Amino acid sequence: MLSKLAVRNAKRSIKDYIIYLITVTLAFSFIFAFNLISDAKSIVELSSMMQNFKLAMYFVNAFIILVICFLINYTTKFMFQKRSKEFGTYMLLGIQKKKIARMFTLESLILGFISLIISFGIGYVLNIIMTYIIMNIFDAPFSVDITFSWKAILLSFLYFAIIYLIVLFFLRRRIKKMKIHDLLYYEKQNEKTSKLKKYRGLIFIVAIFLGIVAIDTFDREFRAVEVNPSFGTIMLCLILIIISIYGVIYSLGDFILSFVLNNKKLKYKGNNLFVARTFSSKVRSMSFTLGTLTVLITLTLICLNLSGLFKGMFEYQINTYAPYDIVIADDEAKFKEYIDLVDDEYTIKESISYNTYMNTNNAVKNVLDSELNGWRDFDQLIKLSDYNKLLEMRGMEAVTLDDNEYILHVSRGYEGFKNNRNLESITLDNGIELQQKMFTSYKYTTSWAYGGGYVVVVPDYAVENLDVVENHLVINTEEETTEKFAQKLVGFAEPDFCEEDEYGYMVCYSLSSITVRGQEVANNNGLMTICLFVCYYIAIIFTTIVGTILAIQSLSDATKYKYRYQVLNKLGVDKRKLNKTILKQLSIFFLFPVVYPIIVSFFAINSLNRVFKIALVSDTTYLSYFGISLGLFFGIYLIYFIATYFGYKKNISD
């Protein structure tokens, strides 16, 4: 009977808490999928970097489990309160607490277990999709790993056990403490007013102040030229921000309420009074939960922003180091053989060979004096015609130069030298004087001329009598190049000279330099995949959890406070206006925990940009990442909002 009752109650709960169950299932699915991925041989063997993926996953999972605990614990508590009368009745019938606890535990476990089982299916599909994405990133052939990893399943069970042990521990304690009177009359109980109420204004100001201090301290860590942020300070900032968030959330509801109440025009306009009162009472009764949600949203946004920064950085790096499929700097005589070698493997789309020239009076280098200085101790020049061909190979527009002009193309580190007077005109070794036509860092690549960090583009005639630094061969292929082919090419470039080192080993040096895009991509991708997947993983789970808690809370309010809307209706508010009121109310409720995180995460990414900007396309690229992050977050959040809105309307009209 007891288990029959538990099963029936669980069945009923499925209907009422469908959003919650979907979220828990999704969370378990992600955990399982990531366990599968980090355990899959085909993934780990992609690159040496991917070994760390597993470690990162354990660490992240520990964190995620904690948050899932929060969700499940919250919802269990919530279900418990909603059914307090039912439990009271059990006690009245003479059922012992122990048995009631056992029944409710069984119910929670049934629900959790259903989620877990379904999650294996969904998780497996997710795993395939994510494997596909990773394989795509690495340009590796995609094949589905059909072998089912028992280890991943066991790990999922382990996480499940940990989560439910914690949740059930709290549940048992709650049941132990409950009094029959409180259960039977729970709905009639008044909320306790907080003793801190008087100080809300003060708390608000202090919290805001703490927030500003945290943001400023964080920014200071990244403001100096010598970037050396200390871990301790950053942690301190994080703690301060978290305290500030709880403080603001705790006090802001009343702040808004008193603002509305004190302004007669605002107070009596439309449904403002109703919405403000409902809202502030809501905030007052669940300020701690809302605070936690706000913290989660803050972390989510920061995670998403970081992933944007990382992604931008990696892409920029690829484009800086390997914009062309194959770049070879070697003896011109060997170029024919190189081309044959490439031709065997790929279809050559276009190729050019050109020379770089040296200018030893260092007219440019002497001015561009910074810590970014390359290892070449002379300026490197490229002929305009070669430069234009190189630009065209990247799909950029060709440029023109008068006979007495030059272009200085620098890496982003040298941007500060724009408009430098000493560069207005330069004189080369051969006596030709050139005026600066353009100074740019747009899409600079080290492939043009190794070891300088900048390149001087001169009219074709101006390289007369200058020594050649290197012969370059640049090839674009139809197909994507691979890491393997890079090794083949390097093997072909015979060492120029070999010598025995102090330990007796033969060490060979090669003056040639070979860059294959496929190899650079593979090197970068390991780290990028880890960063991106970890960030998105955290972001998705946190967002769904926040959405779920807000949805559950709103939907149960809709049932509980149905009469409020009936009263409004009787007072002459028609259906359309009622819906508008609901929309307004829910919008405020859902936006409330988002506003502060948006501000905090904006300042955070703004500070981090000081470090990242050098490796990004431009100083303001991070703004687009910020926008994308918000878009991603709101994309998921909106689904929960819409589901809540329609559920709310349904609950009220039922």
Q: Which region, judged by CB under 8 A, interacts with another protein, from 4-12, 356-364, 417-425, 643-651?
A: 4-12
**Pairing assessment for the beta strands 425-427 and 379-383 based on DSSP bridges:** unpaired
Q: Which is nearer to another protein, 2 or 468 (CB)?
A: 2
Q: Which region, judged by CB under 8 A, interacts with another protein, from 3-11, 352-360, 550-558, 642-650?
A: 3-11
User: Which member of 41, 151, 181, 336 binds another protein (CB under 8 A)?
Assistant: 181
Q: Which region, judged by CB under 8 A, interacts with another protein, from 90-98, 296-304, 523-531, 613-621?
A: 90-98
User: Which member of 5, 125, 398, 498 binds another protein (CB under 8 A)?
Assistant: 5
Give first-to-last CA distance, the chain, whole Å: 31
Q: Which x/- pattern over 225-254 shows residues binding another protein (rule: CB under 8 A)?
A: ------------------------------
User: Which member of 93, 225, 506, 571 binds another protein (CB under 8 A)?
Assistant: 93
Write down the least CB distance from residue 620 to another protein, Å. 59
Q: Which is nearer to another protein, 83 or 613 (CB)?
A: 83
What token pair was written down for 397? Answer: 């527009």
Q: Which is nearer to another protein, 94 or 431 (CB)?
A: 94
Q: By CB under 8 A, is residue 94 in contact with another protein?
A: yes
Q: Which is nearer to another protein, 95 or 261 (CB)?
A: 95
What token pair was written down for 39? Answer: 């355990």
Stated as kind and residue range, the H or E segment containing 355 is strand 348-359
Q: Which region, judged by CB under 8 A, interacts with another protein, from 166-174, 177-185, 503-511, 524-532?
A: 177-185
Write down the least CB distance from residue 95 to another protein, Å. 5
Three-state SS for 433?
Answer: strand
Q: Which is nearer to another protein, 89 or 319 (CB)?
A: 89
Which residues in 306-325 contact another protein (CB under 8 A)? none
Buried b (16+ CB within 10 A) or exposed e, 588-606: bbbebbbebbbebbbbbbb
Write down the least CB distance from residue 75 to another protein, Å. 19
Q: How far apart are CA 219 and CA 605, in angstroms?
A: 10
Q: By CB under 8 A, is residue 491 in contact with another protein?
A: no
Q: How far apart are CA 175 and CA 95, in angstroms?
A: 13
Q: How far apart are CA 54 and CA 45, in angstroms?
A: 12
Q: How far apart are CA 19 and CA 546, in angstroms?
A: 12
For the stretch 142-146, contacts whose Cβ atoms lie closer than 8 Å and that sit 24 or more positions apart, written own/partner, are 143/42, 145/40, 145/41, 145/42
Q: How far apart are CA 550 and CA 296, in angstroms?
A: 13
User: Which member of 49, 56, 180, 623 binds another protein (CB under 8 A)?
Assistant: 180
Write down the least CB distance from residue 9 to another protein, Å. 6
Q: How far apart are CA 40 and CA 38, in angstroms?
A: 6
Q: By CB under 8 A, is residue 575 in contact with another protein?
A: no
Q: By CB under 8 A, is residue 91 in contact with another protein?
A: yes
Q: How far apart are CA 361 and CA 289, in angstroms?
A: 68
User: Which member of 48, 51, 96, 136 binds another protein (CB under 8 A)?
Assistant: 96
Phi, psi of 364 (to 5 degrees): -90, -45
Which residues in 69-88 contact another protein (CB under 8 A)? 85-86, 88
Q: By CB under 8 A, is residue 8 in contact with another protein?
A: yes
User: Which member of 18, 56, 106, 184 binds another protein (CB under 8 A)?
Assistant: 184
Q: How far apart are CA 159 and CA 356, in angstroms?
A: 59
Question: How many other C-beta atoms are found inside a 10 Å radius of the C-beta of residue 538?
Answer: 22
Q: By CB under 8 A, is residue 95 in contact with another protein?
A: yes
- CA of 206: how far to CAs of 297, 600, 624, in Å? 22, 16, 32
Q: How far apart are CA 81 and CA 301, in angstroms?
A: 32
User: Which member of 41, 99, 269, 349 binds another protein (CB under 8 A)?
Assistant: 99
Write down the least CB distance from residue 69 to another protein, Å. 28
Q: Would you give the DSSP letter of residue 346?
A: S
Three-state SS for 438?
Answer: strand
Question: How many other C-beta atoms are found inside a 10 Å radius of the C-beta of residue 78?
Answer: 17
Q: By CB under 8 A, is residue 89 in contact with another protein?
A: yes
Three-state SS for 366?
Answer: coil
Write down the least CB distance from residue 19 to another protein, Å. 21
Stated as kind and residue range, the H or E segment containing 473 is strand 468-477
Write down the least CB distance from residue 3 to another protein, Å. 11
What token pair was written down for 630? Answer: 């918000």
Size of the site for another protein (CB under 8 A): 21
Write down the least CB distance from residue 165 to another protein, Å. 25
Instruction: Tell me the one-letter amino acid at 16.
Output: D
Q: By CB under 8 A, is residue 173 in contact with another protein?
A: no
Write down the least CB distance from residue 90 to another protein, Å. 8
Q: Which residue has the tokens 């109650």?
A: 9
Q: By CB under 8 A, is residue 106 in contact with another protein?
A: no
Write down the least CB distance from residue 2 to another protein, Å. 7
Q: Which x/- pattern over 344-383 shows residues binding another protein (rule: CB under 8 A)?
A: ----------------------------------------
Q: How far apart are CA 596 and CA 577, in angstroms?
A: 29
Q: By CB under 8 A, is residue 560 in contact with another protein?
A: no
Q: Which x/- pattern over 131-170 shows residues binding another protein (rule: CB under 8 A)?
A: ----------------------------------------
Q: How far apart are CA 569 and CA 577, in angstroms?
A: 9
Q: By CB under 8 A, is residue 187 in contact with another protein?
A: no
**Pairing assessment for the beta strands 454-458 and 379-383 based on DSSP bridges:** parallel
Give residues in contact with another protein (CB under 8 A): 1-2, 5, 8-9, 12, 85-86, 88-89, 91-97, 99, 180-181, 184
